[in-house]
Structure formats: structure tokens, C-alpha cells
Amino acid sequence: MRRPSLDVARLDALAPALRIEVLEEATSTNAVAAQRARDGAPEGLLVVAEHQTAGRGRLDRSWATPPRSALLFSLVLRPTVPAADWPWLPLLTGHTVAKTLRGAGYDAGVKWPNDVLLAGADGESKKIVGILVERVDTPTGPAAVIGIGLNVSLTPEELPVPTATSLAIAAGHDPDRTAVLIDLASALVEAYDAWQAGGEEARDRLASSYAAACVTVGREVRVELPAGDSLLGRATGVDRSGRLVVTGPTGQTAVGAGDVVHVRATDQ
């Protein structure tokens, strides 16, 4: 059965804050949005695809979903906050997406830095959203591309990996993808505008609200670091730069990038 397409006319609700481009197919919405940014697209371009043939994760990993089963979109931003605050963009995005899904009744939480997980009935959390934020150099200055993939109507058989889930699996019915896209995109614009315009105070507010909501804080973790080694300890906080603070036998380490595995103390 062919799944329904997005209702493009209803996406007009996002104007004028966003200009929407809906593609039947793209290699990767992040790649398309980055090219548009290099070609001069202003802040607020939202590239949406019904299907990706080369969806990207971090570190050259892939992101896969069947056509029209997911929301796949990338937002072009041109932040004016100090460069030191850019690392907060992925965290702001994950936090906002998790809050929006919670508001829609899903038991969503953000795992550091920006995976959005849904708690399952068996107590095990599974990944529902992947976020890829990339910085792009353009002739008019650096831009940020915020890429989001949300599994909406995938069935258990369609999940690309056993650690994934979808809104339909959690809710027991297929949600309206267009309505979810409108909710998520408006929440992102609102959160980003408040963060950009609110100065130091808004950035402090995000830091404390993120740390309070992040499901990694307080957990025993194994962080697989980009260099290949790993760090074991308890995640005890998130610092002013958005780094995860891990407290282990040798003291505290602030981690800026890496894959976090939530472990039970007995698994270590």
C-alpha cells in the first residue's frame, strides 16, 4: 500500500517564518540544504523530502527509512550568537524535539547530545529521532544546517535496526505526518528565536533546562570517543559549552563528542 504524501498546502501554516521546499526524493536533505545555503539561501529555508536515497548520520553512518514513512527535513539557519555557543544548536534541537513529542503524549527524552529516545513498555528506550547539525561555509558567512529524521509510520518489520522505534509503534496508530511536521518546525523556530534573541540569560536558561531534561545525566555511561577509546563513569552534568561531564575513577572529564551508551552498573 502506498503511504499518503505530505499535505503541502497545509505547510503554508509555517509561512512567513519558514520557506518550505518539498522534494519527492533527495539524496540527503542536509546535502540539499547545504547547497542551497552555499547558493545564498537565507535563514528559514526548510528542505523536506518524502524519501532519501543517501540519508546521513554522524561519522558517515547512514539513516534509512522507507518512502513517506518518516519526516526528513533540514533547516538552514544563520546564527548570530558567539561562535562558542554554536555547539548548543544540536542540543537545543534535540531538547525541543523531545519536548514537542512529550507535549503530543509520547514518553520522549533526549540522550546526550541529541538522540531522541522513546521509553518502551519493557523499560528499554529506543531511538525515534536522529539529528545531524552541520556547519556550512557560504559566501555570506557560516550557516548551520539542522537535519532531523523522525520515524513516523514504520512498522516493526521496517525498522532499519533493532534499537529503533516509530511513533506508530508507540501510539498504535499512524499519526498525521503533516501535523507533526508543523508542530516540530514551529517549536524549533520558536526555541531558536528565543535562544538567539535572549542573550546570555536565554543561553543560561537553555543550559539548565537541557541538563534537567537530558536522560543521560545521572546514568552510568560508556562514551565511545572519536579517537576509538572509551570512557566509563557516571554522567553528572552538562557544562556551559554543552559538553557531557563524566565522573569516573580518575576524576571528571568533559566530553564534547562521542557516542554514549547507557549502561547498567552490572554491565561494565
- Applying CB under 6 A, which residues contact ligand BT5? 28-30, 52, 55-59, 61, 63-65, 72, 74, 127, 130-132, 147-149, 151, 160-161, 164
Positive or negative: CA dihedral 92, 97, 103, 105: negative
Cβ neighbours, 10 Å, residue 87: 15
The residue (of 63 and 88) whose beta carbon lies closer to ligand BT5 is 63
Dihedral sign for Cα atoms in the order 193, 197, 202, 204: positive
Rounded to the nearest whole angstrom, what is the least distance from the CB of residue 204 to ligand BT5 in the complex?
27
In the complex, the smallest distance separating the C-beta of residue 4 from ligand BT5, rounded to whole angstroms, is 19
Write out the three cell numbers for 247. 565522573
As measured in angstroms, the least distance from the Cβ of 201 to ligand BT5 is 30
65 vs 178 by CB, closer to ligand BT5: 65
d(CA 66, CA 141): 35
Decide whether 130 or 233 has the Cβ nearer to ligand BT5.
130
* Shortest CB 205 distance to ligand BT5, Å: 26
Q: Is the peptide bond before 66 cis (omega within 30 degrees of 0)?
A: no
CA-based radius of gyration for the chain: 18
**Shortest distance in whole angstroms from residue 61 CB to ligand BT5:** 4
Q: How far apart are CA 248 and CA 189, in angstroms?
A: 38
Taking the complex as a whole, the smallest distance from the CB of residue 166 to ligand BT5 amounts, in Å, to: 8
Nearer to ligand BT5 among residue 128 and residue 238 (C-beta): 128
Which cell numbers in the block locate residue 37? 545555503
Q: Where are the beta strands (DSSP E) in 6-51?
A: 19-23, 45-49
Site of grid cell 516493526: 156
Q: Which is nearer to ligand BT5, 75 or 245 (CB)?
A: 75
Q: Return the number of the residue (194 or 257) whose C-beta is nearest ligand BT5.
A: 257
- Residue of minimal Cβ distance to ligand BT5: 130
